[in-house]
Structure 1
Amino acid sequence: MATLEIKDLHVSVETEDGPKEILKGVNLTIKDGETHAIMGPNGSGKSTLAYTISGHPKYTVTSGSITLDGVDVLEMSVDERARAGLFLAMQYPVEVPGVSVSNFLRTAKTAIDGEAPKLRTWVKDVNAAMDRVKMDTAFASRNVNEGFSGGEKKRHEIVQLELLDPKVAVLDETDSGLDIDALKIVSEGVNRFKENGDKGVLLITHYTRILRYITPDFVHVFVNGQVAEEGGPELADELEANGYDKYVSAAV
């Protein structure tokens, strides 16, 4: 059981001209078993929300709250948030020279569980997770994301998702830069995660194409740092047909 609750969240970022407010009162509740899609134009604050949930130091929460099962997330460090069950799949996964994928995954699993997984079963688990996303197991010995294509980086994110098994997954434009085959594979990975117990998913995307493979329970239109509209899967179809113009105009 898991509930991520965001109440009246205001977030600013430091600029050359001083603090700039990006999120302007976001309210959102993600319960276990639910998939929420956030859609909106560039610069509307979608990624800011994702990074604020995960604890990126660039973003300052000026008011509001984020709780996971009633516990104050904002009081947690980044690693405490991960151990509590929050996971972020980044839009642009970073390269980590000198750290192999296998060491990275085992270290992360150990940090989250509080004990190291048994090596023999762990290797089998890693290989199986990589096989499910059609990723050559030779990638386990390569440095994290170094020289990976965009699709390989996103598949690696799904491997992490499956092995670390969080309560709530925040997926920041996981479909960005994927061809149709990789999109299907990544989507299947997200669906497997959802089916493995009651999990919450917050899926940030510009496009409806990933929603053909991952069916959201709720769609939220994000404009100017706020949720401008909410609805079911049919709202995504409306956005595909008509765009964001009416919401952007109303927010001006």
Structure 2
Amino acid sequence: MSTLEIRDLHVSVDTETGPKEILRGVDLTVSSGQTHAIMGPNGSGKSTLAYSLAGHPKYTVTSGTVTLDGEDVLAMSVDERARAGLFLAMQYPVEVPGVSVSNFLRTAKTAVDGESPKLRTWVKDVKNSMQSLAIDDAFAERDLNTGFSGGEKKRHEILQLELLKPKFAVLDETDSGLDIDALRVVSDGVNRFTADGDKGVMLITHYTRILRYIKPDHVHVFIAGRVAEEGGPELADKLEEHGYVDYAGASA
């Protein structure tokens, strides 16, 4: 069993007028077998949390700790975080012309595992995962994210998730821009990832529609860089009915 523990995390971002504090003391613990939904309005700090965990250089951790099985995540480089078991599915995946999907996936797998996957097994695993995500075989030879639709980019993020097999996945608005069919396919992929009970998920979303397909164990409401409320799946139902109006006074 693994644990990702965030304690009193403060994070700032550089702006034209100087550093601006975005996260103002976040406490959160995700264990193997758990799915945590991170919800909140625009600008509440959800994506800042995701990118800070991944080690994005734009974000500066000013205080607090992040540990994975007791190891200091904040002391790790970006690649070390990936090898330790952290995965970020980005809201806006970057286009990389000239690098095929198949080459990217195999290179990523080799980097994370420290050795190249056995070719025959790897080809079979990729093919099976692509079929599960309703991805055409020709997709593997396309340039990474170049000209991809929103749905194709999100399916590719889940394809990476299935093949790289991290301990913890941070999914940053994986549901944005998806039609209902793509939403179901992507949700099924996340559910397959968590099915064996030894993986954890932090699912960042504005809306509750993806939570109809991915059932969270815990829901956290982010307001102005803090966790304003925590609860079970019933909290998401409350947000669906009332929105964030009840937290209007929590931004101070």
Category of TM-score, reference length = shorter chain: over 0.9
Which residue of structure 1 aligns with residue 132 of structure 2? 132
Counterpart code for 2:30: I
Which residue of structure 1 aligns with residue 158 of structure 2? 158
- Tell me if the contact between 2:9 and 2:64 (Cα under 8 Å) persists in the aligned partners: yes
Secondary structure of the corresponding residue to residue 115 of structure 2: coil
Instruction: Note the C-alpha offset of 1:197.
Output: 4.1
Which residue of structure 1 aligns with residue 192 of structure 2? 192
Which residue of structure 1 aligns with residue 41 of structure 2? 41
Deviation string 1:190-242 (CA, Å, 9 cap, x unpaired) is 00000134111000000000000000000000000000000000000000100
Secondary structure of the corresponding residue to residue 47 of structure 1: helix
Which residue of structure 1 aligns with residue 87 of structure 2? 87
User: Structure 1: any 5+ residue segments left out of the alignment?
Assistant: none
Secondary structure of the corresponding residue to residue 182 of structure 2: helix
Partner Cα separation in structure 2 for residue 101 and residue 228 of structure 1: 40
Instruction: Note the C-alpha offset of 1:123.
Output: 1.1
Count of aligned pairs = 252
Partner Cα separation in structure 1 for residue 55 and residue 75 of structure 2: 10
Secondary structure of the corresponding residue to residue 33 of structure 2: coil
Which residue of structure 2 aligns with residue 111 of structure 1? 111
Counterpart code for 2:74: L
Instruction: Note the C-alpha offset of 1:16.
Output: 1.1
Partner Cα separation in structure 1 for residue 88 and residue 47 of structure 2: 11
Which residue of structure 1 aligns with residue 12 of structure 2? 12
- Tell me if the contact between 2:223 and 2:250 (Cα under 8 Å) persists in the aligned partners: no
The runs of at least 4 aligned residues of structure 1 exceeding 3 Å deviation read none
For normalisation by structure 1, the TM-score amounts to 0.99
Which residue of structure 2 aligns with residue 209 of structure 1? 209
User: Structure 2: any 5+ residue segments left out of the alignment?
Assistant: none
| RMSD across aligned positions (CA) | 0.7
Secondary structure of the corresponding residue to residue 20 of structure 2: strand
Partner Cα separation in structure 2 for residue 201 and residue 156 of structure 1: 17
- Tell me if the contact between 2:39 and 2:206 (Cα under 8 Å) persists in the aligned partners: yes
